[in-house]
Amino acid sequence: MNKIRYYIETYGCQMNVADSELVSGILKQAGYEQAESLDDADIIIFNTCSVRQHAEDRVIGRISNEISRKAKKPGLKIGVIGCVAQRLSGELKKINKKIDFVVGVDQYKHLPRIINLLDFYGVNVATDVNNSEVYHNMMPVRQGDLNAFVTIMRGCDNFCTYCIVPHVRGRERSRPLDEILKEVEEAGNDGFKDVTLLGQNVNSYNWKELDFPQLLEQVDSLETIKRVRFVTSHPKDLSDSLVKYMAKLDKVCEHIHLPMQSGNTDILTRMNRGYTSEHYMGLIKKLKAAMPDISITTDVIVGFPGETEEQFMDTYNMMKEIEFDFAFMFKYSPREGTAAAEYEDQVDEKVRLERLSRLIDMQNEITNKKYKEQIGKIKEIYVEQVSKKNPEELAGKSRDFKITVFKADKSLIGKFVKVKITEATGWTLKGELIEEID
């Protein structure tokens, strides 16, 4: 008998990418088979993001489009998992009656049973948050290129006032050390040499008194991998010890993603971020002093409720001073159920858009400049794939997280090479192969 085939379409952050791989592992173990495409699937699962209204609207639109497939393929099941499933729960059924199942972030273990019983019980909704689920001993089925995402903790306790994540993903909990090490080791054995440790706030990792720098040290010592990264760091919890360990540990890459959110302390306070702009600036200085070539990326929100032009300019000027290698810049999006959505001094949409566009223009220049500074350098590149733009070129990443393309034979995919940078176009470096490292 043919196996039932599933296809997962993933939206949102790396945590969702990792969760889709976890769900894939759960379904495979239960005897399902991964479909090559949507057309081949008997079950389509949307793993959704609700961080901003736009992300949520987009995925709900996608689901409505794909639901029409059910008319052509009787028996096709369509399910929704992830943050929108968690947030809207049974409401999703009202938005679209043809959705077969809605399963939240702490209920993935039950997916095989839920899917099996669909024809008996009809629509199923399982969105309880139990605040302790860490999916013990469940191995993901990795997708895509040669980077592995390994979840080290789930949930978030910070309640930044704009953010929906703690409301949908529940309280913070750390995965046991041995399970993390086993997963990283196996990823390395399967050829994934660049590993990213994932959590909403990795700096508060704590398992039996073992903290994040100690976890990094253990991961760094594993023979099967070559590079270690981590996201996301919270500026309020980034310790001196982490800076020291980052500089000391060979496999830990010279890159940090450190969301700044705003350059104005009053706005940071209203965001409940737990740090001042001076504290943030101090961290940048410490990181640069310990690792002069470190690449720093960030997230910023403009038009947070009550933000004045002067306060926005504090963000603008601080970003100009720091010179981030790259920044994800967002206009504030009110999320129902969060504290800031209730604030009365919401900033006009036009003003939010205009500030965002000014900030993006300024940061683009800095990013260009930062990338141009790489010309002439020899960088270690992890070769990940054939370039999507030019089949004669290979693409990979440097330790400082810059995509680099160069002409070489496909046999180098999965290897580490030295490349001399000759050009910088937009957010991609171009170079010439010097030699294979191993």
- Of 318, 335, 434, give the one whose Cα is nearest residue 383: 434
Tokens of residue 280, six digits: 């943030």
Given the complex with ligand SF4, which of 112 and 306 has the nearer CB atom?
306
Q: Where are the alpha helices (DSSP H) in 68-110?
A: 69-72, 83-88, 91-95
What φ, ψ does residue 126 adopt, rounded to 5°?
Answer: -135, 100
Among 19, 21, 52, 246, binds ligand 5AD (CB under 6 A): 52
Find the DSSP H helices in 117-239: 118-121, 165-169, 177-189, 212-220
For residue 103, give the nearest of 188, 20, 204, 201 by alpha carbon.
20
Q: Which of residues 125-164 bind ligand 5AD (CB under 6 A)?
A: 162-163
166 interface partner picked from ligand 5AD, ligand SF4, none, CB below 5 to 8 A per type: ligand SF4
Binding residue (CB under 6 A) for ligand SF4 from 174, 200, 297, 298: 200
What is the x/- site pattern for ligand 5AD, positions 296-325, by CB under 6 A?
Answer: ---x-x------------------------
Asked if 151 interacts with ligand SF4 (CB under 6 A), we say no
Are the beta carbons of 195 and 223 closer than 8 angstroms? Answer: no
The nearest distance, CB 88 to ligand 5AD, in angstroms, is: 16
Sort 246 into a burial class: Cβ within 10 Å, 0-12 / 13-18 / 19+.
buried
Q: For residues 348, 350, 356 and 358, what is the CA-based torsion angle, rounded to 10 degrees?
A: -120
Q: Which of 43, 49, 146, 163 binds ligand SF4 (CB under 6 A)?
A: 163
Return the residue nearest ligand 5AD (CB atom). Answer: 299
Q: Interface residues for ligand 5AD in 157-216 (CB under 6 A)?
A: 162-163
Residue count of the chain: 438
Q: In this complex, which beta carbon is closest to ligand 5AD, that of residue 77 or of residue 331?
A: 331
Which one of ligand 5AD, ligand SF4, none is in contact with 335 (Cβ closer than 5 to 8 A by kind)?
ligand 5AD
348 or 409, CB closer to ligand 5AD? Answer: 348
Asked if 198 and 234 touch (Cβ cutoff 8 Å), the reply is no
What's the min distance (Å) between Cβ of 166 and ligand SF4? Answer: 5
Q: Among residues 255, 335, 352, 402, which is the contact residue for ligand 5AD, using CB under 6 A?
A: 335
For 381, the token pair is 């590149």
Beta-strand relationship, 428-436 and 5-10:
unpaired
Please give the biggest Cα pair distance in the chain. 67
Which of ligand 5AD, ligand SF4, none lies near 33, with the C-beta cut-off 5 to 8 A by kind?
Answer: none
Give the CA count within 13 Å in the CB-facing half-sphere of 61: 6
Question: Of ligand 5AD, ligand SF4, none, which one sits near residue 271, judging by CB under 5 to 8 A according to partner kind?
Answer: none
Question: Contact at 8 Å (CB) between 35 and 41?
Answer: yes
Number of residues that bind ligand SF4 (CB under 6 A): 10
> Among residues 167 and 370, whose Cβ is nearest to ligand 5AD?
167
Residue 328 makes contact with ligand SF4 by CB under 6 A = no
Binding site for ligand SF4 (CB under 6 A): 156, 158-160, 163, 165-166, 200-201, 234
Binding site for ligand 5AD (CB under 6 A): 51-52, 162-163, 259, 261, 299, 301, 330, 332-333, 335
